[in-house]
């Protein structure tokens, strides 16, 4: 059974779910680095299913919410990208302590892929990093969020001009601090090249990935996710789920 708990520094507690490996002798820990904002809500169910499937196959799994998101403590307007990188490192440490695992794998989804790769540079115990539809870089991601914000604004014809102008300061419905925006702007595609290609794998829902690091193995599991359109429905992409399970359980 999954165990829900909090961990982290001081009163900035991070909410997590730990899925213990079925049976005995599980030595692999997979830490799931979720996407952000509406992508987080849309993938919450499928990432839970993924965690359960990996646990049934003998892996320990840790899911968590970054500070200022989900059920974790903190205000989004006050946390930083640097805080989120620390959350990943803390999650790996916490997961290893709970599970006793000696092998660590990370799954990064969308913006979580960029964060996972940046955090992994300082984590010597990460054996494999699997990325689902990774964003290519920080500036491009901010552009996508602003595009989604424009779509959301047009869907609400009752906004006054003043309300519309105010809404356009948001990113896909979220107000980000200037520091967070600046940190995202400094993230380029070179983050992916800093991790050994032999330990990196991409699972994409489109053949037109634009992944910035050449030579990285990629699987294509076609599925229409509509990440950039402001869609808000849950997605349960079975072909993607199957490929992620295969990549994360490969010996």
Q: What tens digit of pLDDT does each residue of 104-129 get?
A: 999 999 999 999 999 998 898 899 99
How many domains does the chain divide into? 1
CATH code for position 39? 3.40.50.1820
Q: Which of 13, 71, 12 lies closest to 40 in space, CA to CA?
A: 71
User: 203 lies in which domain range?
Assistant: 3-138+187-249
23 torsion bin: left (phi>0), alpha (psi -120 to 50), beta (else): left
Q: In this predicted model, what pLDDT tens digit does every residue of 35-87 receive, in sequence order? A: 999 999 999 999 999 999 999 999 999 999 999 999 999 999 999 999 999 99
SS (HEC) of the chain? CCEEEEECCCCCCEEEEEECCCCCCCCEEEEEECCCHHHHHHHHHHHHHHHHHHHHCCCEEEEECCCCCCCCCCCCCCCCHHHHHHHHHHHHHHHHHHHCCCEEEEEEECHHHHHHHHHHCCCCCEEEEEEECCCCCHHHHHHHHHHHHHHHHHCCCCCCHHHHHHHCCCECCECCCHHHHHHHHCCCCHHHHCCCHHHEEEEECCCCCCCCCCCCCEEECCCCCCHHHCCCCCCCCHHHHHHHHHHHHCC
Q: Is the separation of the CB atoms in 203 and 129 below 8 Å?
A: no
Closest CA relative to residue 205, chosen from 230, 241, 229: 241
pTM: 0.94
β pairing state of 3-7 and 14-19: antiparallel
d(CA 106, CA 68): 21
Domain annotation covers residue 163: no
Q: Within a domain: residue 123?
A: yes
Task: Look at residue 110 and tell me if it is in a domain.
Answer: yes
pLDDT tens by residue, 166-215: 666 788 889 999 999 999 999 998 999 989 999 999 999 987 767 888 88
Domain-located, residue 194: yes
Sequence-distant (≥ 6) Cβ neighbours of residue 162 within 8 angstroms: none
Higher pLDDT, 220 or 169: 220
Instruction: Give residue-wise pLDDT tens across range 124-165.
Output: 889 999 999 999 999 999 999 999 988 887 767 666 666 666
Q: For residue 160, tell me if it sits in a domain.
A: no
| In-domain check, residue 171 | no
89 found inside a domain: yes
Domain membership of residue 204 (yes or no) is: yes
Q: Return the structure tokens found at 64.
A: 């968590």
Rounded distance between C-alpha atoms, residue 100 and residue 228, angstroms: 39
């Amino acid at each position: 059974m999954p165990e829900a708990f909090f961990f982290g520094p001081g009163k900035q507690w991070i909410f997590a779910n730990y899925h213990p490996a079925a049976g005995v002798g599980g030595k692999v820990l997979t830490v799931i680095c979720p996407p952000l904002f509406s992508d987080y809500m849309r993938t919450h169910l499928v990432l839970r299913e993924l965690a359960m499937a990996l646990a049934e196959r003998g892996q320990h799994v840790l899911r968590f919410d970054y500070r200022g998101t989900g059920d974790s403590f903190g205000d989004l307007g006050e946390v930083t990208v640097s805080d989120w990188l620390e959350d990943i490192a803390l999650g790996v440490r916490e997961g290893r302590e709970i599970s006793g695992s000696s092998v660590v794998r990370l799954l990064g989804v969308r913006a979580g892929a960029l964060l996972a790769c940046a955090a992994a540079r300082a984590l010597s115990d990460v054996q494999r990093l699997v990325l689902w539809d990774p964003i290519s870089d920080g500036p491009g991601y901010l552009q996508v969020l602003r595009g989604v914000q424009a779509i959301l604004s047009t869907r609400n014809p009752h906004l006054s001009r003043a309300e519309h102008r105010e809404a356009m300061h948001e990113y896909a419905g979220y107000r980000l601090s200037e520091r967070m925006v600046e940190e995202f702007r400094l993230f380029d595609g070179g983050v992916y090249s800093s991790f050994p290609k032999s330990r990196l794998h991409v699972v994409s829902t489109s053949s037109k990935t634009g992944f910035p690091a050449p030579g990285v193995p990629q699987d294509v599991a076609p599925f229409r996710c509509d990440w950039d359109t402001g869609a808000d429905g849950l997605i349960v992409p079975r072909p993607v789920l199957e490929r992620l399970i295969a990549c994360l359980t490969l010996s």
